[in-house]
Amino acid sequence: EAQVTQNPRYLITVTGKKLTVTCSQNMNHEYMSWYRQDPGLGLRQIYYSMNVEVTDKGDVPEGYKVSRKEKRNFPLILESPSPNQTSLYFCASSRGPRYEQYFGPGTRLTVT
Amino acid sequence: QKEVEQDPGPLSVPEGAIVSLNCTYSNSAFQYFMWYRQYSRKGPELLMYTYSSGNKEDGRFTAQVDKSSKYISLFIRDSQPSDSATYLCAFDYKLSFGAGTTVTVRA
């Protein structure tokens, strides 16, 4: 089954404790991206990757890091999480930004 | 001015009504226009995709694009309770999303 998986689905952590949210796709897509979704603000792109070892900032990259060492994986790293990073996070993959984006199930992160 | 503006609603309609959703945009570089549907506690899924001005129909759904006015619409005919979801407009180039409109169809 073609899918994007994210782990964990739910995470509660404390300020400053480094965390990683994993994302994996099995569709051989070159383009992957991370979004955060907040009430009233919709989906905002954090980072995207056009291919392996090629990443670039989206609209809200501050406080986040990503890496793309393999085509299928695109982890999101929060080196020092803060409460304003409490949000619902989605990973997505596609053949490119102009193609249908396939979204993962989401990760709800709470930073206290 | 935001690059994409979408009325967040919420919108509540009786079953069978026509639902009308709209987005305006400011970036004339946008060439591809999409509507995603997001059910509660799920990721968004592509509903409609167009790349030119005019109308595109798919069953009960019609997507309309007016590039000259920088305005796109989604119409849902004969709305059903299963159409209750958040609808997000999306645009290529930077893959910009609207904030989403939450729709509830009352049985």
What digits encode the pLDDT tens for the residues A62-102? 999 999 999 999 999 999 999 999 999 999 999 988 888 99
pLDDT attached to residue B39: 96
Q: Does B92 touch chain A (CB under 8 A)?
A: yes
The pLDDT assigned to A18 comes to 97
Distance (Å) from the alpha carbon of A17 to chain B's nearest alpha carbon: 26
Task: Flag residues of chain B having pLDDT under 70.
Answer: 1, 93-94
Tell if the CB–CB gap between A100 and B46 is shorter than 8 Å. Answer: yes
Q: What is the pLDDT of residues A22-73, one digit of tens each?
A: 999 999 999 999 999 998 888 999 999 999 999 999 999 999 999 999 999 9
Confidence of residue A1 (pLDDT cuts 50, 70, 90): confident
Whether the Cβ atoms of residue A5 and residue A93 lie closer than 8 Å to each other: no
What's the pLDDT score for residue B48?
94
What is d(CA B35, CA B43) in angstroms, rounded to the nearest whole number?
13
DSSP A42-83: EEEEEEEEEETTEEEE-S--TT-EE--SSSSB--EEESS--G
The verdict on a CB contact (< 8 Å) between B97 and A42 is yes
Q: Does B23 touch chain A (CB under 8 A)?
A: no
Of the candidates B80, B100, B81, B82, the one whose C-alpha atom is nearest the C-alpha of residue B90 is B100
Residue B38 CA to residue B83 CA, distance in Å, equals 10
A-chain residue closest to B34, CA distance: A100
Please answer yes or no on whether B100 and A105 come within 8 Å at the CB atom.
no
Query: Do the chains contact at B99 and A44, CB–CB below 8 Å?
Result: no
- Report how many Cβ contacts below 8 Å link chain A to chain B: 50
